[in-house]
Amino acid sequence: MQLSNVTFRGPTIDDPTVLPLLPDNLRGLLEALNGFVQFHGGLHVRGACLAPEWHSLRVAMEGDLALHRMYSRVLVSDVPFAQDCVGDQFLLREGKVLRLVAETGDVEHVASGLAAFLESANADPVEYLSLQPLLKLHDEGGVLEPGMLIHVYPPFCTKEAANGISVRAVPAREVILFHAELASKLPGEGGQIQIEVGD
């Protein structure tokens, strides 16, 4: 399929042993193009590589950033193949694509398969991938470099976010860890949480 607006291409495969762990369609994609970033950070598909860490599929599957270790609704068998600009994760489970809402840990169905997901993302990236935070970052003169994600404050899952959010680009690792901690501490319906913001 035709991928539009590719702004980063992954390095040569240097982690070939991860490929047999992947569904055939994802393996074929990575053998042709070892992961990529589209839409200036709007969609990041991870690759079969050991470095850079932020691009490594193995790190998201098995490393200290393994999503199944941080989120109870992510299965060990899920393949966290991609993420959007704010760090919501896309998982392949039994051929279907699910979105892990990183702030809350909720998992929702988004596509019947990898091809359908990529086709929808390329047909209407702003709506399908919810790229409004990225547009806001660009409007404010910011850039989302490869390896960075947008930190949204206050988090979308809070009542305060309705009054407006601030956005800034930070290393992907920081956003992923922040979201995992937030999701683990969220109270039940209507509860309160205190968020401490560092420098």
Confidence grade of residue 63 (pLDDT, cut at 50, 70, 90)? confident
Per-residue pLDDT at 142: 96
Confidence grade of residue 191 (pLDDT, cut at 50, 70, 90)? very low
- 159 vs 22, higher pLDDT: 22
Write down the mean pLDDT value for the chain.
93
Domain membership flag for residue 43 = yes
Length of the chain equals: 199
Domain membership flag for residue 86 = yes
Per-residue pLDDT at 1: 66
Domain membership flag for residue 196 = no
Per-residue pLDDT at 102: 96
Q: What is the per-residue pLDDT across 30-44, written as a single tens digit (0 to 9) for each? A: 999 999 999 999 999
Domain membership flag for residue 143 = yes
Structural domains in the chain (count): 1
Q: Quick check: 193 pLDDT over 50?
A: no
Residue 171 DSSP one-character state: E
111, 82 contact by CB (below 8 A): no
Domain membership flag for residue 100 = yes
Domain membership flag for residue 197 = no
Other CB atoms within 10 Å distance of the CB of residue 71? 24
Domain membership flag for residue 109 = yes
Alpha carbon of 70 to those of 63, 88, 94, 110, 183: distances in Å? 11, 13, 21, 21, 9
- Taking the alpha carbons at both ends of the chain, their separation in whole angstroms is 43
- Structural domain boundaries enclosing 100: 6-185
Domain membership flag for residue 63 = yes
Rounded CA-CA distance 74/108 in Å is 11
What share of the chain has pLDDT > 70, as a percent?
A: 93
Provide the whole-model pTM.
0.91
Q: What is the per-residue pLDDT across 83-141, written as a single tens digit (0 to 9) for each? A: 999 999 999 999 999 999 999 999 999 999 999 999 999 999 999 999 999 999 999 99
Per-residue pLDDT at 64: 87
